[in-house]
Amino acid sequence: MSARLDSLPMLVFLAVLVATLVIVPDFVERQRPRGTTLLNAVLPALAVLSPSPVLAYVLVALGCAAMAAQIRHTARVGAGMLMLAAGVTLLCAAVIAGVGATDSALLLSLAALALRTGVVGLHAGVSSLCRAAPVVQAQQFSSLLAFAVIHLRFVDHVPAAAAVAVPVVLAGAATALVFALLSLVQRDLAGLLRASLLMHGGMMFAAIGAAGRGHHIAALFVALTMTLALAGLSLTVLALEARVGKVGLQQSCGRARAFPRLAAAFGFFGAAGVGMPGTAGFIADDLILHALWSESVVATIAVTVSSALLAVATLRAITRAFMGPVVTSVAPDLTPVERGVALLLILLLLGIGLLPQLVVAASAGLFAVG
């Protein structure tokens, strides 16, 4: 399965977006992008552009292994998950090189995606990254967009895709529901971000499962939107914690006056992630619910409830982290670079939300058999 020439602009856009979002967390940490970060950005971007499924999977695997090597001493469980995912991805490439895109390649690709999205039962690695290496987790979640693209392009058309669609959808929906429930009891902002990443990872996995029954555009749209919203949310949480340290949610603290732009950006990205009207999140929720309804009523209900629960948890976090007794700080609000990145993500989420047909039209040729 290959993309038509008229889909090349969409592939270029996705490649540039992935590379940009992988680099962004380094700027939040007030440092120039390191060589490992540039490698983590370039490899998945090249995978998106690759016309060869074997090369695409090899590049994704190498990027995954590079991230694992970067945090092998600080987040061993997370590094182990990334190395395992890299090995499974390389095995998928080997299968495709030997016998083509078969049912085995599809199952291996889904297994690697399950590890990296943090499907419930396999979520220890993502949880470890969120706690011990949040910058790398932000980077690996952003690079998941590249993995989703190559999965949908190269292996999602085999016969087994339709057969495993419902189990994959149910696993993703269950993951979303479990971590949406856990988001309600988080005691700090980092915990809420972890629950949100895992919940949205479950939604992405469910959407990719639904693609096996023909919902490719919905799956791509969900992956794109979740990546944008979660990249923005990660940016704001990392930026706030870089200024004030760990942010608890046990009592209200009025940081909005000290960091008005940061507070507004956090609120926007949190709302976009749970389907705020006018944003791409609203379109993504609509598309995934329609796709899931065709495959499983139970999964549809679970994802709907999950979005509502996470919305409650996000609103609580906004109230506790930014509203309440005024707190002053000598730390600056968002820096010019951070503001530029946040503004870019906001414009993309609004633009895609208001003109979704542009993405749909540009993506149509990605999944044409050729």
Provide the residue-wise pLDDT of the chain in tens; the chain has 370 residues.
445 556 788 999 999 999 999 988 876 665 555 677 888 899 999 999 999 999 999 999 999 999 999 899 899 999 999 999 999 999 999 999 999 899 999 999 999 999 999 999 999 999 999 999 998 999 999 999 999 999 999 999 899 999 999 999 999 999 999 999 999 999 999 999 999 999 999 999 999 999 999 899 999 999 999 999 999 999 999 999 989 999 999 888 889 999 999 999 999 999 999 989 999 999 999 989 999 998 899 999 999 999 999 999 999 999 999 998 888 888 889 888 889 999 999 999 999 999 998 888 888 778 754 3
Tokens standing for residue 79:
């590094």
pLDDT at 331: 87
The pTM is what? 0.93
The three-class DSSP label of residue 133 is: coil
Domain boundaries, the chain: 5-367
Q: Which amino acid is at 211?
A: A
Torsion over CA: 214, 220, 222, 223 (sign): positive
pLDDT at 1: 42
Q: Which of 210, 225, 228, 363 is nearest to 281 (CA)?
A: 225
Read off φ and ψ for residue 248, nearest 5 degrees: -80, 155
Q: Are 116 and 144 in contact (CB under 8 A)?
A: yes
The three-class DSSP label of residue 311 is: helix
Distance between CA atoms of 361 and 9, rounded to whole angstroms? 11
* Helices within the chain (DSSP H only): 8-28, 35-49, 53-70, 76-99, 103-117, 124-132, 134-154, 160-163, 165-183, 189-211, 216-244, 260-273, 280-295, 297-322, 336-354, 356-363
